[in-house]
Chains A and B, each alone.
Chain A
Amino acid sequence: MQAEAHMLEGGFAEPVLEAQATFRAVMDAMARPAGIVRIGPNATPPAPLTPLAGAIACTLLDADTPVWLDPLLSGSEAVRAWLGFHTGTRFASAPDEATFALFRDPAGMPPLDQFAQGTQEYPDRSTTLILQLESLESGPPLTFGGPGIKREATIAPRGLPADFAAQWAENTRRFPRGVDLILTAGDALACLPRSARLMEREG
């Protein structure tokens, strides 16, 4: 009974305007890869889904977008019920069937090539990954270039898989196919669209 009541709460208080504000933050971040955008999350989903990831889910997910949850999230009945109620989303049984994927534990995530990559004709039919990280500024620095980036941009996400650099290089090689990433930590968000190219580390 208590779980059911919790499921009904914690969505946007002003769904129209808050979804718009969240989307603009994600759009700005996607247009300026590896640049950090801050937005006060205004959804309060049940743990382990974070407020910012919950807000992004409320903004982008609906019945048209199967979502894949990593084991920590899909193990939580409260999270599944909350997402189902507030977004109307369906749950994908396999990563490559998902339009979106949500991660509580990005370090243990399946390889990027397990997700939908789109086709050469329709590269947009690929998965967008939403990652809950510990921090975007205290991890190992990664420097990116490409469209949306004036010269270069550096971000230091903590909690990515150990072989992320190699995986991302593979993702770049698949262009125009490939996955896009939305990184979140606290109230900070940054995007890595497939067009963002990881620069060689100096030294």
Chain B
Amino acid sequence: MNAPTYNFAYLDEQTKRMIRRAILKAIAIPGYQVPFASREMPMPYGWGTGGVQVTAAILGPDDVLKVIDQGADDTTNAVSIRKFFQRVAGIGTTTSTGDATIIQTRHRIPEQPLHEGQVLVYQVPIPEPLRFLEPRETETRKMHALEEYGLMHVKLYEDIARNGHIATTYAYPVKVEGRYVMDPSPTPKFDNPKMHMSAALQLFGAGREKRIYALPPHTEVVSLDFEDHPFEVQRFDKPCALCGAEQVYLDEVVLDDRGGRMFVCSDTDHCETRRANGFFGEMAEGGHDAQTSPLRGGRTEGPGGGEDGTNIPPPLTPPLKGEGNLSRPVAGVGSCKTSETSSFDCVAQAEGTPPGRTSSGHPPLKGEGSR
């Protein structure tokens, strides 16, 4: 706190008032994108400036903040935003979904259901769901005004015509309370049902595009679909390799250069909580079926694994397509405890990670998620 003194939560009061007024209007008109005078923040566009501004405007000294990036608490984007607010607001932070009062997220909704009084703040790259169909703001604004969303249905129909099913898997458009079509930010469509009638207030901030929108609690959020092609979420063949969770969103982690891979919870808090409660997946260290773990000379999934009895020790080959799993206790890579006391370890690890290995080592617009 001896650093140059910023105002509490970084933003000046005039800016906070402007954002707060936009938030109130956004709540009053669910799904409508309220323009606001987005400020430059001490981080580049694409790194969550919209979400950071919303969080800064609502944050109080008693709040407990959780920040996730693709479900993970320990990736660069999440760690640096959490550190930012620790420094400029001196607030408490957590990685536990249940303990947080404000959760800022980049592209996931926690698996654990949110409760009354929590606020979920989304970082949004492109708030306009119609933008890729109609580049002119004047036109998309008119389309929202007239509730003219035929184009979006045409797009989904073309998906079906080309692929036999709706191929949109993230940023899947939703209709809010039967009025506004809204972009849920590039969350996997797996998370769309969690927005519907959520007990938490959901706020969306797009810094570069200068828009704020909101979903009050208990609000109807319907994913667009057709009668003969109803909305469906992704399914995974296998449970999480670390905690054995089913019906959660999984990340694929490549383990070696011979096709070895594992699927683990994208939500690190959910995964760690389950393991702390004694649930283990097939590749968990110290799990009930540890003898089947590749580390212990058991079978491995997928081709190229341990045919000759020499198992490839995954610790020496960091995940190539990392989804920020480096600091998880995957096969001996130093485990990053998520308690507050060890948050500096997380920082050190995240900061010591070469670019390109964490999910947030690149701007979030470059087609994340599965196409």
On whether A121 and B7 interact (CB within 8 A), knowing A16-B13, A148-B27, the answer reads no
- Check A120–B145 contact: CB distance below 8 A: yes
Given known contacts A17-B61, A23-B20, is B29 in contact with A31 (CB within 8 Å)? Answer: no
Q: Check B60–A30 contact: CB distance below 8 A.
A: no
Choose the segment among B212-220, B258-266, B341-349 that binds chain A (4+ C-beta atoms closer than 8 Å): B212-220
Given A21-B60, A32-B216, the answer on whether A60 and B30 have CB atoms closer than 8 Å is: no
B218 with A149: CB separation less than 8 A: yes
Chain A residues with Cβ under 8 A from B16's Cβ?
Answer: 19-20, 23
B312 at the interface (CB under 8 A from A): no
Given contacts A27-B23, A124-B32, are A147 and B220 in contact (CB under 8 A)?
A: yes
The proximity string for A residues 106-139 relative to B, scoring 1 for CB distances below 8 Å and 0 otherwise, is 0000000000000111111010100000000000
* Contacts A17-B60, A32-B216; A147 near B30 (Cβ below 8 A): yes
Task: State whether A60 touches B17 (Cβ < 8 A).
Answer: yes
- Please, which residues of chain A bring their CB within 8 A of the CB of B216? 30-33, 147-148, 195
The interface size of chain A toward B, counting residues with CB under 8 Å, comes to 41
Find out whether the CB atom of A121 lies under 8 angstroms from the CB atom of B145.
yes
Docked-complex contact A195 and B177, CB < 8 angstroms? yes
**In the complex, A122→B177 CA distance in Å?**
18
- Chain B 3-33 interface 0/1 with A at a Cβ cutoff of 8 Å (1 = within): 0000111000110111011111111111010
Task: Tell me, yes or no, whether B141 is within 8 Å of chain A by CB.
Answer: yes
Contact call B24/A176, Cβ cutoff below 8 A? no
Closest to A30 in B: B27
Interface residues of B in 175-189 (CB under 8 A from A): 176-177, 179-180
> Do the beta carbons of A31 and B17 come within 8 Å of each other?
no
B63's nearest neighbour on chain A, judged by CB, is A24
Q: Kindly state the separation between the CA atoms of A99 and B18 in the bound complex, as whole angstroms.
A: 12
Q: Is the CB of B20 within 8 A of A176?
A: no
Q: Is the CB of A194 within 8 A of B8?
A: no
Q: Measured between alpha carbons, how far is A195 from B177 in the docked complex, in Å? A: 9
Total of A-B residue pairs, C-beta within 8 Å: 112
B59 on the A face (CB < 8 A)? yes
Which residue of chain A lies nearest to B221 when distances are taken between CB atoms in the complex? A147
> Of all chain A residues, which has the CB nearest B28?
A193
Are A27 and B24 touching (Cβ within 8 A)?
A: yes
When distances are taken between beta carbons in the complex, the residues of chain A under 8 Å from B220 are: 147
Task: Tell me, in angstroms, the Cα distance from A150 to B30 when the chains sit together.
Answer: 15
- Chain A residues closer than 8 Å to B22, beta-carbon distance: 124
The closest CB in chain A to the CB of B177 belongs to A147
- Which chain A residues border B17 with CB–CB below 8 Å? 19, 59-62
Q: Is B8 a contact partner of A17 (Cβ separation < 8 A)?
A: yes
Quote the shortest CB–CB distance from A156 to chain B (angstroms): 21
User: What string of 1s and 0s marks CB contacts (under 8 Å) between A175-200 and chain B?
Assistant: 11000100000000000011100000
Q: Tell me if B34 is interfacial: C-beta within 8 Å of chain A.
A: yes
Q: Assess whether B32 is in contact with A176, with CB atoms less than 8 Å apart.
A: yes
A-B pairs with beta carbons under 8 Å apart, 27 shown: A16-B8, A19-B13, A20-B9, A20-B16, A20-B59, A24-B60, A30-B28, A30-B216, A31-B201, A32-B217, A33-B216, A60-B20, A61-B17, A99-B21, A122-B35, A122-B141, A123-B32, A124-B34, A147-B30, A147-B216, A147-B220, A148-B217, A149-B218, A180-B24, A193-B29, A195-B28, A195-B29
Q: Known pairs A30-B27, A124-B29. 15 more at Cβ < 8 A? A: A17-B61, A19-B17, A20-B9, A20-B59, A23-B57, A32-B217, A59-B17, A60-B21, A62-B17, A123-B32, A128-B24, A147-B30, A148-B27, A175-B179, A195-B28
